[in-house]
Amino acid sequence: MRTVDLRSDTVTRPTPAMLQAMLTAPVGDDVLGDDPSVIALEAEAARLTGKADALFTPSGTMANQIAIRCWTRPGDEVIVEAGAHPFHYESGGPAAISGVTLRPVQGERGILDPSATWAAIKGGPPWVAPSTLLCVEDTANAGGGSVYPLATLDALGQGAWDHGLHSHLDGARLFNAVVASGETAFRRCRHFESVTFCLSKGLGAPAGSVLCGPAGFIHQARRVRKMLGGAMRQAGYLAGAGLHALSHHVDRLADDHRRARALYDGLAAQGWDVAPPETNMLYVGGADMQRVAAELAQAGVLAIPVSAESLRLVTHLDVDDGGVERCIAALGACRG
């Protein structure tokens, strides 16, 4: 029986149509700036986000680290939500690559409160690290795939400018937020100077993210990407997958959200500690979730225990309605 893999939306395989788009993508040498598929992807990403320019990168982590490197100087401080991806899952990159520290601010389900954010700003005396960048994650992974209210995004983006901070939107799952909110990517990131989004998560491409921002910023970002070893040659084959994803896999994210809700309904009915999902993620609470994950794996259902008391389940284009039912049944068996 086929495994139901709910560990992450990064585990998807290209669809046959995406593979065909990759095979037929015109390519050049992106380091020399003449790969037509990469050029087309970057132009489309800039258009969708309303930014002047864009840069194709191998991963969302690299895109975030390039943004931090370009917006800061060594010794600066970056304000993030306490569960933010750059704080927990980017291998200390801000310190190693940019020489900056991160200032975590506790939010609600991963959502920063503007007042608490501005209270965390440091500067003035020479013995403190000056706050120079605000980094916001939408959707918030650690918050359970929560979607920033548009008013909060506006307040944070505009407020960063008013407080003299640069602003970066880590939109790893930006299009999940777009589909859930009904607001365009252009509108959601309007007040942020730079934004990145991943092609390799819910959009289903095998690799790649795009960093978007002002032309001068992207010019600098291109050099940092080269410095980090992220410049690729015939990257158009991957860009072809990304273009296909943006054309065909955005609206279908609603299916992932619907299935996450069905998963929630089934698990809540069994008595599991689980919050209603806003997008495609659920965090299930309980005792000894390492054991639960091992039992699920025996039943052919894969999930990530993020702690001893919490299990993460993520729906995506490789999980159908039958996979959701199998997961509900397997967790019911674990509960006894």
Q: Is a pLDDT exceeding 70 seen at residue 26? A: yes
Residue after which a domain boundary falls, among 248, 265, 293: 248
DSSP-assigned letters across all residues of 94-152 = IIIII--EEEEE--BTTBPPHHHHHHT---SSTTSPPEEEEEEESSBTTTTSB---HHH
Do residues 244 and 257 both lie within one domain? no
Token output for 211: 């960093």
**Distance separating alpha carbons of residues 256 and 281, to the nearest angstrom:** 9
Rg of the chain on CA atoms, in Å: 20
Do residues 330 and 201 both lie within one domain? no
In the numeric block, the tokens 């008391």 are attached to 309
Q: Is a pLDDT exceeding 90 seen at residue 194? A: yes
CB proximity list for 182: less than 8 A, separation 6 or greater: none
The stretch 180-207 carries a mean pLDDT of 98
**Distance separating alpha carbons of residues 301 and 310, to the nearest angstrom:** 16
The stretch 121-126 carries a mean pLDDT of 92
**How does the average pLDDT of the chain come out, rounded?**
97
**Distance separating alpha carbons of residues 37 and 47, to the nearest angstrom:** 15
Do residues 295 and 195 both lie within one domain? no
Do residues 322 and 179 both lie within one domain? no
Do residues 189 and 259 both lie within one domain? no
Residue after which a domain boundary falls, among 248, 272, 293: 248
Burial of 100 (0-12, 13-18, 19+ CB in 10 A): buried
With vertex at residue 129, the alpha carbon angle to CA 128 and CA 135, rounded to the nearest 5 degrees, is 140
**Distance separating alpha carbons of residues 268 and 275, to the nearest angstrom:** 8
Q: Is a pLDDT exceeding 80 seen at residue 333? A: yes
* pTM exceeds cut of 0.75: yes
Do residues 103 and 208 both lie within one domain? yes
Q: Is a pLDDT exceeding 70 seen at residue 336? A: no
Residue after which a domain boundary falls, among 218, 248, 278: 248
DSSP-assigned letters across all residues of 63-81 = HHHHHHHHH--TT-EEEEE
Q: Is a pLDDT exceeding 70 seen at residue 22? A: yes
**Distance separating alpha carbons of residues 137 and 169, to the nearest angstrom:** 6
pLDDT at residue 272, rounded to an integer: 96
Do residues 202 and 218 both lie within one domain? yes
Show the DSSP H helices in 185-320 as ranges: 185-188, 215-227, 236-248, 253-269, 289-298
Q: Is a pLDDT exceeding 80 seen at residue 25? A: yes
User: Residue 198 falls within a domain, yes or no?
Assistant: yes
Q: Is a pLDDT exceeding 90 seen at residue 273? A: yes
In the numeric block, the tokens 């209603």 are attached to 276
Task: Note down the domain range covering 285.
Answer: 252-335
Residue 282: name the closest of 251, 333, 327 by CA.
327
Do residues 283 and 295 both lie within one domain? yes
**SS3 of residue 315 by DSSP:** coil
Q: Is a pLDDT exceeding 70 seen at residue 98? A: yes
Number of domains in the chain: 2
User: Residue 2 falls within a domain, yes or no?
Assistant: no
pLDDT at residue 335, rounded to an integer: 77
Residue range 30-81, pLDDT digits in tens: 999 999 999 999 999 999 999 999 999 999 999 999 999 999 999 999 999 9
User: Residue 9 falls within a domain, yes or no?
Assistant: no
The stretch 199-219 carries a mean pLDDT of 98
Do residues 233 and 275 both lie within one domain? no
Do residues 166 and 275 both lie within one domain? no
The stretch 303-317 carries a mean pLDDT of 95
pLDDT at residue 62, rounded to an integer: 98
Residue range 218-263, pLDDT digits in tens: 999 999 999 999 999 999 999 999 999 999 999 999 999 999 999 9
Q: What is the DSSP letter of 277?
A: P
User: Residue 1 falls within a domain, yes or no?
Assistant: no
